Amino acid sequence: MALPFRSALLALPLALAACFGGGSGSQVKPVQGAYTDPSLPPPAIVPGADKTNAKQEADAGMVVNKYLWRAALETFEFMPLASEDPFGGIIVTEWYSPRTTTSERFKATVYVLGRQLRSDGVRVALFRQVREGGAWADAPVNPATATDIENKVLARARELRAQGS
């Protein structure tokens, strides 16, 4: 009886490696620096996320408010998406550098928090880095900036609801 148990223990790492190891390019890697606020849930990483799919999935049985979701996508459409989870309500962008500033870049994580269109239904976490000596270093973000963006998302969501979109 002890022999099959030992064999199972030896086979377990191989089975796990087969499930999670995959070939080259098949592993999902978490986005660096995208999760730093412990009061918010960690983002779900969705490989190959794209804005068109996110808008289509938004209307197909979402758990979050569809107006807030679509407004958040529209607000951040100028930034490439790293991942999106319309059922969990999380959008993570890639790093984005404005054309006028090559020594500074930004990243955002947007959380749509619930089914109702409420003022506390969206939270935005912004990240900023500046180039120092050829390497990127974290830099502070004005907290009012995240609040301003949240207000823009809310305003756009109200417009979408009024239009019946």
**pLDDT per residue over 80-117, tens digit each?**
999 999 888 999 999 999 999 889 999 999 999 989 99
Mean pLDDT of 48-54: 51
- Supply the pLDDT for residue 164: 85
Per-residue pLDDT for 1 more than 50? no
Q: 122 lies in which domain range?
A: 48-163
CA atoms lying within 13 Å on the CB side of residue 93: 23
Alpha-carbon distances of 104 from 128, 139, 143, rounded to whole Å: 7, 9, 17
Q: What is the pLDDT of residues 137-147, one digit of tens each?
A: 999 999 999 99
Residue 42 in domain: no
Do residues 111 and 126 make contact, with C-beta atoms less than 8 angstroms apart?
Answer: no
Which amino acid makes up residue 20? F
Domains in the chain: how many in total? 1
Whole-number pLDDT of residue 114: 86
Q: Is residue 77 part of a domain?
A: yes
- CATH code (residue 138): 3.30.530
Domain for residue 35, yes or no? no
**Within-domain flag for 23:** no
What does the pLDDT read at residue 29? Answer: 39
Phi, psi of 131 (to 5 degrees): -85, 125
d(CA 97, CA 128): 10
